[in-house]
Amino acid sequence: MDGELDCDKMDYLLRDSLYCGVTYGTYDLDRFISTLTAYKQNNQLQLAIERGGVQALEEFILARYFMFIQVYFHKTRRYLDKVLVKSLKAVLPGGKYPDDVSEYLRWNDARILDLIARSEDSDVVPFKNRGIMTCVFESKTHADQVDKQNTKLIFNQLKRKYGGRVLYDSVDKAAHRLAPALLAPQDDSGRGIMILDEGTGDVKNIMEESIIWESIVKPISINRIYADKNIAAEVRKEIQKIRSE
């Protein structure tokens, strides 16, 4: 129910891929499910994958990684997320959803969208009119701390010159989060990903069987700078100037 092989991930990858009109999140679901199995450890059943299903698992792993890179962390989606949050703060009483459950349930999508449509608040207008800023700078996908600090320094200089006409966004998240303990060869938490060789009965950790998984657990870190469309070209030149200094 909750882990790297949970049914929620299996569902939303395919569903999001379909409704976004992309193929990044597709994988062989039938093969993946058919190779799920179980083994007994300390008199308890633990979830595992047959060795013949390693490639189906890797396809699933890559599907989630690509969806994070190409969809969930897409530059336009990230920007619209930010302006949507500002819009919600502007239209909700006190800038947040109510704590009372029954009252919270009254704030459905239709009510929120109606308030946004009728609002003339300056924090709502960009979202309502889809006034999307232009991404003028983007770090590499797995930026290290130095890259992040350099991007922030560039943005701070731009901020002093352009004020609210520039925006900074940083995202840090691992597409697959496995604590070191879950990667141990003899993990017994039930949350690790174990591969069962049905011929020999041997059980190994996924890190011993998949080169892809071993290389993909590194966190995704993308840092971006946005600017109003009418000054985007100017800001790009300013960034080049700052980086050359």
What's the confidence (pLDDT) of residue 205?
79
pLDDT in tens, 128-181: 888 899 999 999 998 999 999 999 999 999 999 999 999 999 998 876 655 443
What's the confidence (pLDDT) of residue 41?
80
pLDDT at 182 over 60: no
pLDDT at 190 over 90: no
Mean pLDDT of the chain, nearest integer: 87
pLDDT at 185 over 50: no
What's the rounded mean pLDDT across residues 68-97? 93
What is the location of CATH 3.30.70.1370 in the chain? Answer: 7-81+133-244
What's the rounded mean pLDDT across residues 69-94? 93
pLDDT at 112 over 90: yes
What's the confidence (pLDDT) of residue 147?
93
What's the confidence (pLDDT) of residue 159?
96
pTM equals 0.80
What's the confidence (pLDDT) of residue 100?
94
Residue 113, token pair as written in the block: 């969208």
CATH of span 7-81+133-244: 3.30.70.1370
